[in-house]
């Protein structure tokens, strides 16, 4: 029996195991789910042990880390797989068509929080490796597997672990499936990621909400001021106005521009899929450049004052706004947060008090876009998907990839099994069953292709 035949034979069981994995509400951002994360990590550890890995449930200051190892032989290459078992908050709940933590299949897709990001994709590798082990009796490579519980909370504790266990984590290449295919039926290897910097702005006015008739016009309104401040962070051309924000940002190279021109244009598809009247972004850059090569500043949440039914005629006592900035190589998240804070302090009038919480973040990273590892990954994908992959970048951030490079000296292969319309970070997150299957198949070929690089 080949690994792929094994996959076919075990399809039902595999899906049922994935559904169990998806049933844990492992929302790392919410402290109320602390126990659910521990339970999920424990289940995963047990599952990996059952397959034949040596496992370890690593305690951290936050949520635990699952570590698994397989030793094939000293002279064989070592592949480090990285994934995460934590998920984004499911809210707004009312928009989900089914329970986010009770997976169900509708129209050929698995619907659940984490179905794609990143439980489903991580599980595809686990099941691919299991198929090889069960049919060949061994793996052609050494495997180290790191599955963390804090990726959606900026991987707070993983870098310390990597630094501490630096020697133990020695490997040849890292494999991460936490990105997307280029589009339906067009798989991709991703060679660049944006970084991220996280901040929150608080604007404080009167100690209590006050009557907007009595005081309106005579004191600062924190919402008005917040809007004025945030509204000034972009100029008319969509450039970010924070002094020094772009220092270190390299121009988009001619080579990149020519690569992007080869990719199918997706603007029309985006307009339709997102139901938006027009694209929007920085003047002078194409959509792919805006998504992959230019830094951003997005408000992720804003609040202040009365949000209930009807009107409440108040000047609120405060307003706040969550901000994330996507960074590109050459930008440092702490430096960017400091520049944002300095700029906001300059923008704030004397009539309010402000506070900027700086959450740090991660640098952007670029993997060499050629080389034998990338080619080997391409071959595995071609076998698993039945189609040659394209080479692209990704606008999102996988902060830990920077640490793999900077601390361990390792490049990362980014192999996305999911798709851009899989609603990750949104209600009704999904993972098409065919993508899960193609992912599992790719995962059976990948160790052999990677083994051939060093062979």
Residues between 325 and 384 with contacts to a second copy, criterion CB under 8 A: 326, 349-353, 359
Q: Give which of 116, 112, 85 is closest to 99, Cα–Cα.
A: 112
Choosing from 64, 100, 120, 205, the residue that interacts with a second copy (CB under 8 A) is 205
- Which CB atom, from 285 or from 391, has the smaller least distance to a second copy? 285
- For a second copy, which is the closer residue by CB, 77 or 418? 418
Strand runs (DSSP E) across 10-121, as ranges?
54-58, 65-70, 78-84, 104-106, 109-111
Instruction: Tell me: does residue 231 bind a second copy (CB under 8 A).
Output: yes
Q: Verify binding: residue 52, a second copy, rule CB under 8 A.
A: no
Please report how close the Cβ of residue 334 comes to a second copy at its closest, in angstroms: 16
173-176 and 78-84 beta bridge pairing: parallel
Our finding on whether 94 is near a second copy (CB under 8 A) is: no
Round to whole Å and give the CA distance between 445 and 135. 13
Extract long-range pairs of 234-240: CB within 8 Å, 24+ residues apart: 234/297, 237/282, 237/283, 237/284, 238/280, 238/281, 238/282, 238/283, 239/282, 239/283, 240/295, 240/296, 240/297, 240/325
Identify the residue among 230, 392, 400, 414 touching a second copy (CB under 8 A): 230
Q: Which is nearer to a second copy, 78 or 331 (CB)?
A: 331
Q: Specify the residue, 159 or 359, whose C-beta has the smaller distance to a second copy.
A: 359
Instruction: Tell me how far the alpha carbon of residue 41 is from its chain's centroid.
Output: 19
- Name the residue nearer to a second copy (CB basis): 8 or 355: 355
Count of residues that bind a second copy according to CB under 8 A: 101
DSSP per position, 151-199: GGGTTSSHHHHHHHTTTTT--SEEEE--SB-SBTTB-EEEEEE-EEEEE
- Please name every residue paired with 186 in a beta bridge, in sequence order, or none if there are none: 183
Residue found by looking up tokens 């990996």 in the block: 48
Closest distance of CB 216 from a second copy, Å: 4
- Furthest-apart CA atoms within the chain: distance in Å: 81
- 73 in helix, strand or coil? coil
Nearest to 1 by CA among 102, 110, 95, 133: 133
Q: Which is nearer to a second copy, 132 or 199 (CB)?
A: 199
The only residue of 50, 108, 213, 372 in contact with a second copy, by rule CB under 8 A: 213
Q: Across 185-290, where does the E strand assignment appear?
A: 188-193, 195-204, 210-211
Q: If you count them, how many residues does the chain have?
A: 455
154 binds a second copy (CB under 8 A): yes
DSSP state of 237: T
Token pair belonging to 314: 């108040």
The answer to the question of residue 223 lying near a second copy (CB under 8 A) is yes
Binding characters for a second copy, 422-441, by CB under 8 A (x = yes): -xxxxxx-------------
Please tell me whether residue 306 binds a second copy under the rule CB under 8 A.
yes
- For the chain, the distance separating the N- and C-terminal CA atoms, rounded to the nearest angstrom, is 25
Per CB under 8 A, the list member of 45, 331, 397, 444 interacting with a second copy is 397
Q: How far is the CB of 302 from a second copy (least distance, A)?
A: 5
H or E element that contains 145: strand 142-148
- Tell me 10's DSSP state: T
- 137 or 274: whose CB is closer to a second copy? 274
Using rule CB under 8 A, residue 256 touches a second copy: no
SS3 category, 91:
coil
> Is 146 or 352 the residue whose CB approaches a second copy more closely?
352
Interaction between residue 95 and a second copy (CB under 8 A): yes
Q: How far apart are CA 435 and CA 121, in angstroms?
A: 9
Does 315 help bind a second copy (rule: CB under 8 A)? yes
Q: Applying CB under 8 A, which of residues 99, 212, 259, 338 lies at the interface with a second copy?
A: 212
State how far the Cα of 314 lies from the Cα of 213, in Å rounded to an integer.
8
Q: Which of residues 105-144 bind a second copy (CB under 8 A)?
A: none
Interacting positions 22-41 with a second copy (CB under 8 A): 28-31
- Give the binding range for a second copy (CB under 8 A) out of 165-173, 391-399, 403-411, 435-443: 391-399
Rounded CA gap, 21 and 122, in Å?
Answer: 11
- Residue from 94, 107, 137, 207 touching a second copy (CB under 8 A): that is 207
Q: Give min distance, CB of 130 to a second copy, in A.
A: 30
* Closer by beta carbon to a second copy, 171 or else 225: 225
Binding mask 262-301 for a second copy (x = CB under 8 A): --------x---xxxxxxxxx----x--xx--xxxxxxxx
- Of 209, 332, 335, 382, the residue at the interface with a second copy (CB under 8 A) is 209
């Amino acid at each position: 029996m080949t690994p792929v035949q094994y996959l076919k034979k075990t399809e039902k069981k595999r899906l049922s195991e994935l559904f169990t994995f998806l049933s844990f509400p492992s929302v790392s951002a919410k402290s109320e789910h602390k126990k659910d994360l521990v339970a999920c990590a424990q289940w995963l550890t047990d599952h990996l042990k059952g397959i034949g890995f040596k496992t370890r449930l690593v305690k951290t200051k936050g949520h635990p880390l699952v570590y698994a190892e397989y030793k094939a032989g000293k002279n064989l290459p070592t592949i480090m797989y990285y994934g995460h078992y934590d998920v984004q908050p499911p809210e707004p709940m009312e928009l989900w068509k089914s329970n986010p933590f009770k997976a169900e299949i509708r129209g050929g897709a698995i619907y659940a929080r984490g179905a794609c990001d990143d439980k489903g994709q991580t599980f595809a590798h686990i099941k691919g490796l299991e198929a090889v082990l069960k049919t060949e009796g061994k793996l052609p490579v050494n495997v180290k597997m790191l599955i963390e519980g804090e990726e959606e909370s900026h991987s707070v504790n993983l870098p310390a672990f990597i630094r501490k266990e630096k020697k133990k984590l020695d490997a040849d290449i890292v494999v991460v499936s936490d990105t997307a295919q280029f589009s339906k039926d067009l798989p991709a290897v991703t060679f660049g990621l944006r970084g991220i910097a996280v901040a929150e702005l608080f604007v404080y006015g009167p100690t209590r909400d006050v009557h907007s008739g009595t005081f309106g016009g005579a004191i600062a309104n924190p919402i008005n001021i917040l809007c004025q401040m945030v509204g000034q962070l972009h100029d008319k051309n969509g450039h970010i106005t924070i002094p020094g924000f772009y220092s270190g940002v390299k121009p988009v190279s001619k080579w990149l521009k020519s690569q992007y021109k080869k990719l199918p244009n997706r603007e029309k598809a985006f307009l339709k899929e997102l139901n938006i009247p027009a694209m929007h972004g920085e003047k002078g850059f194409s959509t792919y450049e805006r998504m992959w090569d230019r830094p951003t500043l997005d408000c992720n949440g804003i609040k202040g004052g009365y949000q209930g039914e009807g009107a409440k005629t108040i000047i609120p006592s405060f307003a706040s706004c969550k901000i994330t900035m996507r960074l590109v190589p050459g930008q440092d998240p702490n430096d960017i947060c400091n520049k944002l804070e300095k700029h906001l302090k300059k923008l704030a009038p004397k009539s309010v008090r402000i506070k900027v919480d700086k959450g740090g973040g991660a640098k952007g990273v670029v993997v060499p876009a050629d080389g034998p590892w990338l080619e080997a990954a391409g071959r595995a994908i071609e076998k698993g998907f039945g189609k040659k992959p394209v080479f692209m970048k990704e606008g999102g951030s996988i902060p830990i990839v920077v640490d793999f490079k900077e601390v361990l000296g390792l490049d990362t292969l980014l192999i996305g099994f999911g798709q851009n319309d899989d609603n990750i970070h949104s209600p009704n997150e999904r993972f098409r069953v065919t993508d899960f299957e193609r992912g599992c198949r790719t995962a059976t070929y990948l160790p052999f292709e990677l083994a051939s690089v060093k062979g």
